[in-house]
């Protein structure tokens, strides 16, 4: 429920603060510029350099000619060659490949005999939008190859007596066979909800104490800085974990999104991400001592990067190099693949350990920063 009295007070305070505080006025101008730059560069529906791995059982000039089309296309980037489904699965599970091509051993024989040969294209369906485009591009490469071998067959003799074979690329989507968008969106929504609850709400906690004058009363008590910080964080941590539980329940019962991995691991990773987000807001609140300013920066530093620069909606590979480098400091970049891996692929820490470690480092750094910044004394 919205308390109109508090809402009106916040709106009045924000208006007065924008007029009196040059920092708030600067942000009022800077935020639209940042949004324009982020949306202008990061929001693109073009799919390029799809990471692709190959299992070429034929290893003939015909199969190499087909692979040269993938290698020369701006839409695909061949990351390696493997033997067997197990290494292909490891590459897709680890997020190092989105497509795996399996060329059968009788590829060249069927092409020379003028028969149709089927090539398997395994697509990672945990990102429904991207995988759908990748499957379409894969079929396009197959059509180009068909035209080449038919043209070569017609040029074999003046009468064109050689029969042309054909290639049929059959995409097979793993983890999300129907390519339902809900299966991809739900893990990202959990990250956004947690960031909103954490960074934006905790960003005003300590600042509120300074602005209302109650910090002087807290300073006069025996309470210590870390006790004050953790005492204020705990309620929002409980709220955040309840939101995670609600999101998981709605995903299961309302959207029918399968949870193939460990629920305990999911909640543990969510708790880790939530801790970092909570202390991000707390650090901003302690440093800025202004509710409006801290809340504005929390939106810029927390919510917007989570939405745009985490790979939730738009593929990081399609962004300019500068924005790609910037995504490494966005914790949701590591959390969303963890959620998708647990939800869609049922994998555990044996693959996700690096992302989990980076989330631990992120949370630890912000906990130390918040405790170091808080000084229980009057300036």
Nearest to 198 by CA among 161, 240, 248, 249: 240
Give yes or no for a contact between 96 and 52, defined as CB atoms under 8 angstroms apart.
no
Return the ∠ at Cα 359 (arms to 355 and 360), rounded to 5°: 115
Report the range of poorest mean pLDDT among 34-38, 77-81, 317-321.
34-38
Beta bridge partners of 123: 99, 173
Provide the pLDDT confidence category of residue 201 given band limits of 50, 70 and 90.
Answer: confident
Q: What would the pLDDT profile of 12-48 be if each residue is shown by its tens digit?
A: 554 664 567 666 556 545 654 565 455 545 555 557 7
Q: Tell me which DSSP letter residue 220 carries.
A: T
Provide the pLDDT confidence category of residue 232 given band limits of 50, 70 and 90.
Answer: confident
Read off the pTM: 0.66
Nearest to 120 by CA among 209, 189, 55: 55
pLDDT at 28: 47
Residue 181's Cβ-count burial label (10 Å; 0-12, 13-18, 19+) is middle
pLDDT at 357: 96
Q: What percent of the chain has pLDDT over 70?
A: 78
Q: What would the pLDDT profile of 298-313 be if each residue is shown by its tens digit?
A: 877 887 888 888 887 7
Residue recorded with tokens 């990672």: 124
Residue-by-residue DSSP string for 255-314: S-----S-HHHHHHHHHHHHHHHHHHHHHHHHHH--HHHHHHHHIIIIIHHHHHSSSSSS
Q: Provide the H-helix boundaries in 164-223.
A: 181-195, 201-202, 205-212, 215-219
pLDDT at 258: 81
**Which range among 147-156, 178-187, 288-297 has the greatest average pLDDT?**
288-297
**Which range among 245-259, 289-303, 316-330 has the greatest average pLDDT?**
316-330
Q: What percent of the chain has pLDDT over 90?
A: 16
Q: What is the rounded (10 degree) CA torsion for 81, 82, 86, 89?
A: 0
Tokens of 6: 């508090």
Nearest to 309 by CA among 229, 192, 203: 192
Beta bridge partners of 101: 54, 121
Angle between helices 61-72 and 128-154 (to 10 degrees): 130
Tell me the C-alpha distance between 192 and 186, whole Å.
Answer: 10
Q: Cα 206 to the chain's mean position, in Å?
A: 31
Q: In this predicted model, which residue has the larger pLDDT, 28 or 260?
A: 260
Give yes or no for a contact between 195 and 332, defined as CB atoms under 8 angstroms apart.
yes
pLDDT at 34: 65
Per the prediction, the chain carries an average pLDDT of 79
pLDDT at 345: 85
């Amino acid at each position: 429920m919205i308390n109109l009295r508090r809402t009106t007070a916040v709106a009045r305070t924000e208006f007065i603060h924008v007029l009196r505080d040059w920092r708030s006025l600067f942000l009022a101008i800077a935020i639209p510029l940042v949004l324009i730059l982020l949306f202008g560069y990061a929001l693109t529906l073009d799919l390029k350099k799809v990471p692709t791995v190959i299992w070429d059982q034929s290893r003939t000039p015909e199969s190499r000619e087909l692979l040269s089309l993938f290698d020369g296309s701006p839409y695909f980037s061949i990351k390696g060659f493997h033997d067997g489904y197990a290494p292909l699965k490891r590459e897709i599970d680890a997020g190092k490949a989105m497509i795996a091509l399996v060329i059968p051993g009788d590829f060249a024989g069927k092409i020379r005999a003028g028969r149709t040969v089927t090539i398997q294209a395994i697509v990672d369906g945990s990102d429904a939008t991207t995988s759908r485009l990748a499957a379409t591009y894969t079929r396009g490469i197959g059509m180009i190859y068909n035209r080449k071998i038919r043209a070569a067959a017609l040029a074999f003799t003046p009468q064109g007596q050689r029969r042309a074979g054909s290639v049929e690329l059959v995409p097979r989507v793993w983890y999300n066979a129907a390519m339902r968008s809900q299966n991809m969106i739900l893990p990202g929504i959990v990250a956004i909800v947690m960031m909103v609850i954490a960074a934006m709400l905790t960003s005003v906690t300590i600042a509120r104490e300074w602005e209302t004058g109650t910090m002087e009363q807290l300073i006069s008590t025996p309470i210590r800085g870390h006790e004050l910080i953790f005492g204020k964080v705990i309620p929002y941590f409980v709220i955040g974990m309840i939101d995670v539980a609600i999101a998981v329940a709605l995903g299961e019962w309302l959207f029918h999104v399968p949870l193939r991995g460990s629920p305990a691991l999911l909640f543990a990773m969510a708790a880790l991400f939530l801790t970092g987000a909570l202390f991000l807001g707390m650090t901003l609140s302690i440093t800025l001592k202004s509710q409006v300013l801290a809340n504005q920066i929390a939106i810029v530093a927390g919510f917007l990067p989570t939405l745009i620069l985490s790979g939730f909606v738009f593929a990081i590979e399609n962004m300019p190099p500068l924005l790609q480098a910037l995504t490494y400091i966005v914790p949701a970049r590591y959390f969303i693949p963890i959620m998708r891996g647990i939800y869609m692929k049922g994998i555990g820490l044996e693959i996700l350990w690096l992302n989990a470690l980076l989330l631990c480092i992120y949370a630890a750094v912000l906990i130390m920063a918040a405790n170091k910044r808080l000084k229980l004394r009057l300036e």
